Amino acid sequence: MIEQGDTLYSISRRYNIPLQLILRANPYADIYNLNTGDEICIPDMRSNGPIGIMPYVVQEGDSLGSILYESGIELNDVLNNNNPNEIMLLPGSTIYVPSYGEDM
């Protein structure tokens, strides 16, 4: 339940859930107009961890931040699944990211 002063970002930090996953779980929520008492779905990350690792092919214009946001993952997810010395964000290069069962 939304409490006074809550934002989706503050909720994502409180529950340690990527913001993108909260957005995916609430496609019809008015994220710009949260009201005290509104209810949203919070994904249960304790039982719904990654189901695997999938390759992500870097596209023109991608940044590390945009990949993290679009994938709904954290920087540690990228660092834990790739050799940090070999990560190249050039178009066509591949990095490996956790999959939560949803297409990117």
**28 and 67 co-located in one domain:** no
Domain that holds residue 93: 52-99
Among 80, 16, 76, 70, smallest CA distance to 43 is for: 16
Whether residue 60 is predicted with pLDDT greater than 80 in this model: the reply is yes
**71 and 95 co-located in one domain:** yes
User: Residue 27: inside a domain, yes or no?
Assistant: yes
CATH code (residue 27): 3.10.350.10
The whole-model pTM stands at 0.51
Q: What is the pLDDT of residues 1-12, one digit of tens each?
A: 888 988 888 888
Residue 42: band (very low, low, confident or very high) from pLDDT cuts 50, 70, 90: confident
**43 and 2 co-located in one domain:** yes
User: Residue 104: inside a domain, yes or no?
Assistant: no
**4 and 34 co-located in one domain:** yes
Q: How far apart are CA 104 and CA 93, in angstroms?
A: 16
**44 and 56 co-located in one domain:** no
Look at residue 70 in the predicted model and tell me its pLDDT: 82
**22 and 35 co-located in one domain:** yes
**59 and 79 co-located in one domain:** yes
Q: How far apart are CA 91 and CA 59, in angstroms?
A: 5
Number of domains in the chain: 2
Q: By the 8 A CB rule, do 33 and 72 touch?
A: no
